[in-house]
Structure 1
Amino acid sequence: MNTDLLLDGVPTVAAVFATVAALIHVYIFVLESILWTTPRARATFGIRSEQEAAATRALAFNQGWYNLFLAIGTGMGLVLAGSATDVVRAAGVGVLLLATASMVCAALVLVISNPRMARGAAVQGLAPLIAVAVTVAHGLA
Structure 2
Amino acid sequence: MNTALAVAGSVFVGLAALIHLYIWVLESIRWSQPSTWRTFGVTSQADADTVKPMAFNQGFYNLFLGLGVIIGLVLTWSGALEAGLALVFLAAGSMVGAALVLILSSPKLARAAAIQGAAPAVGIILLVLALTTA
1:123 maps to: 115
CA distance in 1: counterparts of 2:112 and 2:26, whole angstroms: 13
Give the % identical residues.
Answer: 48
Change (3 A) 1:129 1:56: same
Runs of 4 or more, structure 1, over 6 Å off, are none
Of 19, 22, 39, 2:17 maps to 22
1:4 maps to: 4
Higher helix share: 2
Question: What is the RMSD computed on CA atoms of the aligned residues?
Answer: 1.4
Tell me the amino acid that sits aligned with residue 91 of structure 1: A
Mark the runs of 5 or more structure 1 residues left unpaired by the alignment: 6-10
TM-score normalised to structure 2 length: 0.94
* Pair 1:112-2:112 in alignment: no
TM-score normalised to structure 1 length: 0.89
Mark the runs of 5 or more structure 2 residues left unpaired by the alignment: none
Q: Give 1:2 shift.
A: 5.9
Tell me the amino acid that sits aligned with residue 92 of structure 1: G
Tell me the amino acid that sits aligned with residue 17 of structure 2: A
